Amino acid sequence: MPSGSEPMGGYRFSDKIMLGEKSDKGEGLMGRLDGKVAVVTGAGSGIGRATSMLFAREGARLLVADLKADGVNETARMITQAGGTARAMVGDAGDEATVKSIIESAVSAFGMLDIIHANAGVSGGSVPLFEQTEEYWRQILQTNLMGPFFAIKHAGKRMVEQGRGAIILTSSVAGLRANAGAAAYSASKAGVISLAQTAAAAFLGTGVRVNAICPGLIETAMTKPFFDSVRAAGKEHKIGQLNPLQRAGQPEEIAAMALFLASDEASYVNGQAFAADGGLSSSLPFSRPIR
C-alpha cells in the first residue's frame, strides 16, 4: 500500500492547494481506490503524472504509459518509491494496436482493469488557421480523439466482461468554447466530450461509466512555453486573470477530479464533462462585477 506520507515530488503547492496529500492510513482505513487497477496514458508528465501519483496514493495498482520513456519511467519510480505499485510502458496512445497491448499488459500484470484515464494529448501550438495542414489536423486528432476512442474500445470490452469500470477522458475548456487553442485542438477536445456522452450511452446497462474532464489553464510541460514567455515579459500577475479565481491551476487539481470520477463515490456520475478551470468557462470576460 502507498505510505501516503511522501510529498508529491517535483510539484509546487501553495499553502491553499495542498491536494493529493493524505494522512497515513490507520489499520482498517481504506484508500479511495483500494483493490483497483488503473491505466493512465500521458503519465510521464503534468496531469497524467499527478493523476497516477494520486491514484497510487489511494491504493490503486497502475500501469502508466507514455510516448516518452524517461518521463513514464520516472513516474513509475516515484510511485514505487512512495510504496505504491506501478509498471511503466512506452507507447503511442494514438495507435490502436499499442493501446490494446497496454490494456492487455495491465490485465496480465494485475488480473483486471477497473479504471482508465485516457489523458495523453498534444496541443499543436498556435498555428494560424490558414496554415493548418491536413497532416497537422490528422496528427492532433490521432492522439487527442482517436486515442481516447481506442482506450474506450479496448478497456471497455474488458470492463463490460467485469460488469464495472470507470473511463475518464481528458478534454479541455478548449472543447467547450473557442479561443483556448487552435481549431484542430479545440475540435479534438470537443470530440472528446461527445465521446464521453456517446460511449456512456453505448455502455447501456453494463456498469461501465465514462466521463470527461475539461481543464482550464494548468501549469504543465504543455503550457510551459506560455508561462515562460509571460514570466519573461514580467507579466506573471496576469496569468489566469480571466477566470474568477484569478490564477492558473496545478496538475494536482485535475488529478483530484479524476480521482473522484475513478472512485466508487462517482457511482452515479456518467456521460458528463466537468470543467476544472477556476470558473473560466462559466463567466464572460466583461467588466469586473461589483461586489
Q: 10: phi > 0 → left, psi -120 to 50 → alpha, else beta; which?
A: left
**Shortest Å distance, C-beta 105 to ligand NAD:** 14
CA 250, CA 245: separation in Å to the nearest integer? 13
Q: How is the beta sheet containing 61-66 ordered, strand by strand?
A: 85-90, 61-66, 37-41, 115-118, 165-170, 208-215, 273-276
**Shortest Å distance, C-beta 80 to ligand NAD:** 19
**Shortest Å distance, C-beta 69 to ligand NAD:** 10
- Supply 82's cell numbers: 512512495
Q: 133 in helix, strand or coil?
A: coil
Please identify, using beta-carbon distances, which residue of 150 and 203 lies nearer to ligand NAD. 150
Give me the residue label for grid cell 487497477: 37
Please identify, using beta-carbon distances, which residue of 2 and 46 lies nearer to ligand NAD. 46
Site of interaction with ligand NAD (CB under 6 A):
41-42, 44-48, 66-68, 71, 92-94, 119-122, 143, 170, 172, 215, 217-218, 220-223, 251
**Shortest Å distance, C-beta 151 to ligand NAD:** 11
Please identify, using beta-carbon distances, which residue of 85 and 143 lies nearer to ligand NAD. 143
Active-site residue, from 11, 136, 185, 268 = 185
The dihedral through the CA atoms of 29, 32, 36, 38 has a sign that is: negative
Please identify, using beta-carbon distances, which residue of 39 and 218 lies nearer to ligand NAD. 218
| Cα distance from N-terminal residue to C-terminal residue, the chain | 47
Residue 201 vs residues 106, 148, 204, 273: alpha-carbon distances, Å: 25, 16, 5, 14
| 136 catalytic per annotation | no
Annotated catalytic residues are 185
